[in-house]
Structure 1
Amino acid sequence: MENAHMMTSKLILSAAAASLALAACAAVPVAIHAQSAATSTRATPPPLPVGTCINMGNSLEPEQEGSWGGAPVDAADFARISAAGFDTVRIPVRWHNKSMETAPYTVDPEWMARVVEVVDMALAEDLNVILNSHHFDPIYSDPQGTAQWHGGVWDQIARQFADYPEEHLWFELENEPHDQLTHANLLDTLEPALVAVRASNPTRAVIIGGENWSGVDSLATLPLPDDANIHSTFHYYDPFPFTHQGASWTAPNIPEPGRQFGSPADLAQLQRDVAKVETYIERTGRVPFMGETGAYDRHVSTPERAAYHQAVREAFTPSGIGICTWAYANTFPFWDRQSGDWLPGMRAAMGLPED
């Protein structure tokens, strides 16, 4: 890794510099108009080499790092992940409570420096990194009213990482659009962010997921910008009554405990969902990747979780997609912080060696 990519002391944009950067972004010609959901004649990018991927869940996306029962990330985590055979880490980051909501939308310099430090630790272990905006809460209830703020934050992120290797660091503009952020307004809402990114990173891979929490059905109507380096993603937590049983954050409709996975109906649904992805690939020429999948460990045993992961992997990977599991070490974990070891069967479920 080049030294320039490992420096955590890079200068953070000042408020004045951010204002100038945003002004410059407005002048950059970026083809933002949407391709239709129908087959496009534009050349499509090769699939991102996501491979086998794991999310650093409950780390940088809670209100404060390590809350929600998680722990601060350190270099040993990425060394462990790399040694286990994972190719990529997805790093969810909460930005809205670490930035000004009015122009120039300045990100807290200490927070930016921490994100840089975490990305550098992952890259140092030869892992690909998906860096995303996660839980930018106001954008879901007020997409248009939040779009410039969201774009101003992405301007700073993009400039911070502009010199990093494009082949190993990718940007995901917003996690799981939902509520008022739908396909009807998705591209208009993300336009300021994409324009800002393209001003400093004209060819870096940018990832966009669809409405309704980026479920697999969102691929059918997912609009994408007319940009040769845009990649699509979806999340897979089906059947939801199994993967989220007892999950309090799904209130008021908390799935009841006791649901098992593997019935003929479950396997038939899995095959139908694979067919939806294959239809999307055939129609668009794009190979999406699965940005999240998993089962909550509160009421689902480790062997049941491993069996679910194996079934999902074996069903979807023949289509050529990469899969990011949720998550590393908290809620849906693969690594057990208490025992200091990988949970049995979980790596094998993802096709990785267990030794």
Structure 2
Amino acid sequence: MMLTTTTSLKPIFKSYGIYLLAAVMLLAASISGWSPAASAAPAVTADFASLNASQVVFEMGAGWNLGNQLEASASGTPSETAWGNPTITQALIQKVKAAGFKTIRIPVSYLNHIGGAPNYTINATWLNRVKTVVDYAYNEGMYVVINMHGDGYNSVAGSWLLVNGSDQATIKAKYRKVWQQIATTFVNYDERLVFESMNEEFDGTYGTPNTAYYANLNAYNQIFVDTVRQTGGNNAARWLLIPGWNTNIDYTVGNYGFALPTDNYRSSSIPGSEKRIMISVHYYSPWDFAGEESGIITQWGAGATNPAKKSTWGQEDYLEAQLKSTYDKFVTQGYPVVVGEFGSVDKTSQDSANNAYRATFAKAVSATARKYGSVPIIWDNGYNGQYGFGLFNRSTNAVTQQGIIDAIMSAMNANKLKNAASSLYVDGMGRGTNGSNAGQWSASTSSNQIWVMEFYGSYYKIKNSATGLYLDGMGRTASGSICGQWSSSASSNQRWVLEAYGSNYRMKNAASGLYLESGGSSTNGADLKMATSSTSTNLQWQIAKP
């Protein structure tokens, strides 16, 4: 991707404590050429949750990109302030979480922070800074995606991970060593950390991929998977994210040369029927609306009022077809898809209605991604103003595009809760009075069965779409008690912990420790109950799209 600038000269580059064990491993590598594959690897930690494909997609929810920060660079040296953004703070990440985002993608460049052969040691200060920023989000209970971002661009000074490079043997050796160090640094992080092998890897030429270069990209992905897995510990079981050519959907799902890597070194604790690899794609279509720095195309979708300001392609039908193709190719085979970047630039200086269309676009991408089993992660480059992608002011931490954020959350947070034993759904029963019982009913299209899952610290609050009341434990502690409903409060009676349980979920009340359960009833109108922990499917729930 070529570097572009706004009129204020701010680049918008559209897509762009260390453990003792890690220190020992790196020291051994520098002395003897040792690799993790040649030694006993640490085991998966007890706190690591093994989530299947549908569970990890739900858990990751709506995502946000910390763009133009750790991938920013000047003359080949990465620096988080190189492109005009301020130093990243914990307060910013807390604001992003409070807005409803559950995942943060952190693009990272290494470039000249990598030392020479044969060890290719990453600058310790830079790696520590990457870890600190990861911890800002990870310690908030969020999912975090980190990648190798600018190192694969022909247009970036100091880049080296080039599919069209002349010395592929050296590139591959370097790539292996760098990912070995990154993976070792984060080996004990739980399932909420996802590694992404690369960003928009291609030869810089738009059009049909060069098959020889595509083969190099596939080789990088295989090296990435093998290297991360062989560091052991939680890296043997965590989800790994890989792109195809330039993260282009057509060139990834079509017959252009993309090859899924094998996963031969993954943990034996992963069920044989399940995958632990995800596919990365980006979505900025139509580009004349989403990214072109021009005031000509400012509207999108069926609600556009001026045909002259609407693109001739890339509308709802195209979006539907694109994400369905990823579903058909990958999701149906157990490989979740992550729409790692999407969004549209601010053109309100040319059309005052532009933000409304940007919100419509963001909601449509999010809703379609969710429909087809994908995780949407919106791009934010920190720039607010003409042609910026910013949703937050990173100097003040203020939200700058609440309408776009609300549109995303409205598409992502509504759910139906189906009991695994009875197949009845949690139902508000149309009851709008504080203290009324929550019930159960067979499937319907009623908003009484739609519940908004609000991220609340490390908990969820569960709000009925029809009445606005929340599921409430009512302070009841006896097994078999009825679950009630109440208007919003800060009480722990309204906080619920979602526990992955096999392919289902259990929902535990934070105040009482009781779990939502069907009570063993399959009768429409039955009260929703709460019970002490057991393995019964009465306590197990499936979270479904409305």
State the TM-score, normalizing by the size of structure 2: 0.54
The residue that corresponds to 1:327 in the other structure is 380
Q: For 2:262 and 2:361, how far apart are their aligned partners in 1?
A: 36
The residue that corresponds to 1:178 in the other structure is 202
Choose from 377, 402, 416 the match for 1:344: 402
The residue that corresponds to 1:253 in the other structure is none
1:202 lines up with 2:236 in the alignment: yes
1:225 lines up with 2:261 in the alignment: yes
1:277 lines up with 2:326 in the alignment: yes
Deviations along 1:245-290, one digit per CA (max 9) or x if unpaired, are 12xxxxxxxxx44113225742332222133123224663322121
State the TM-score, normalizing by the size of structure 1: 0.81
Q: For 1:170 and 1:338, how far apart are their aligned partners in 2?
A: 27
The residue that corresponds to 1:114 in the other structure is 129
Secondary structure at 1:231 match in 2:
strand
Contact 1:151–1:194 under 8 Å retained in 2: no
The residue that corresponds to 1:67 in the other structure is 82
Secondary structure at 2:214 match in 1:
coil
Change (3 A) 1:153 1:338: closer
Contact 2:339–2:374 under 8 Å retained in 1: yes
Q: For 1:86 and 1:326, how far apart are their aligned partners in 2?
A: 12
1:156 lines up with 2:181 in the alignment: yes
Secondary structure at 1:94 match in 2:
coil
The residue that corresponds to 1:249 in the other structure is none
Choose from 134, 137, 142 the match for 2:149: 134
The residue that corresponds to 2:53 in the other structure is 46
Q: For 2:230 and 2:366, how far apart are their aligned partners in 1?
A: 37
Contact 2:62–2:376 under 8 Å retained in 1: yes
Contact 2:63–2:378 under 8 Å retained in 1: yes
Q: For 1:117 and 1:338, how far apart are their aligned partners in 2?
A: 19
Please state how far the C-alpha of 1:334 moved relative to its aligned partner: 1.0
In terms of Rg, which structure is larger? 2
1:259 lines up with 2:297 in the alignment: yes
Please state how far the C-alpha of 1:69 moved relative to its aligned partner: 2.3
Secondary structure at 1:133 match in 2:
coil
Q: For 1:82 and 1:21, how far apart are their aligned partners in 2?
A: 44
The residue that corresponds to 1:86 in the other structure is 101
Q: Give % identity.
A: 28
Q: For 1:17 and 1:196, how far apart are their aligned partners in 2?
A: 16
The residue that corresponds to 1:306 in the other structure is 359
Q: For 1:85 and 1:133, how far apart are their aligned partners in 2?
A: 26
AA in 2 matched with 1:89: I
Contact 2:222–2:262 under 8 Å retained in 1: no
The residue that corresponds to 2:248 in the other structure is 215
Q: For 1:109 and 1:54, how far apart are their aligned partners in 2?
A: 27
AA in 2 matched with 1:334: L
Please state how far the C-alpha of 1:20 moved relative to its aligned partner: 5.7
Deviations along 1:194-237, one digit per CA (max 9) or x if unpaired, are 332112122221110110x2022133143111224221121111
Choose from 16, 24, 28 the match for 2:35: 24
- Structure 2, gaps ≥5 residues long: 1-16, 41-50, 74-78, 152-158, 204-209, 264-274, 302-309, 414-453, 455-546
Contact 2:221–2:261 under 8 Å retained in 1: no
Change (3 A) 1:318 1:117: same
Between the two structures, name the one with larger relative contact order (CA 8 Å, sep ≥ 6).
Answer: 1
| More divergent stretch after superposition (302-311 vs 56-65) | 302-311
Change (3 A) 1:10 1:27: closer
The CA RMSD over aligned residues, in Å, is 2.9
Q: For 2:201 and 2:32, how far apart are their aligned partners in 1?
A: 26
Q: For 1:328 and 1:68, how far apart are their aligned partners in 2?
A: 10
Change (3 A) 1:98 1:282: closer
| Paired residue total | 323
AA in 1 matched with 2:290: T
Q: For 2:289 and 2:116, how far apart are their aligned partners in 1?
A: 38
The residue that corresponds to 2:339 in the other structure is 290
Deviations along 1:47-100, one digit per CA (max 9) or x if unpaired, are 433210001101100111122222221100111111111111011110122111
| More divergent stretch after superposition (60-69 vs 282-291) | 282-291
Secondary structure at 2:69 match in 1:
coil
Contact 1:147–1:190 under 8 Å retained in 2: no
Secondary structure at 1:119 match in 2:
helix
Q: Trace 1:97-112 onto structure 2 (pairs within 5 A).
A: 97-112=112-127
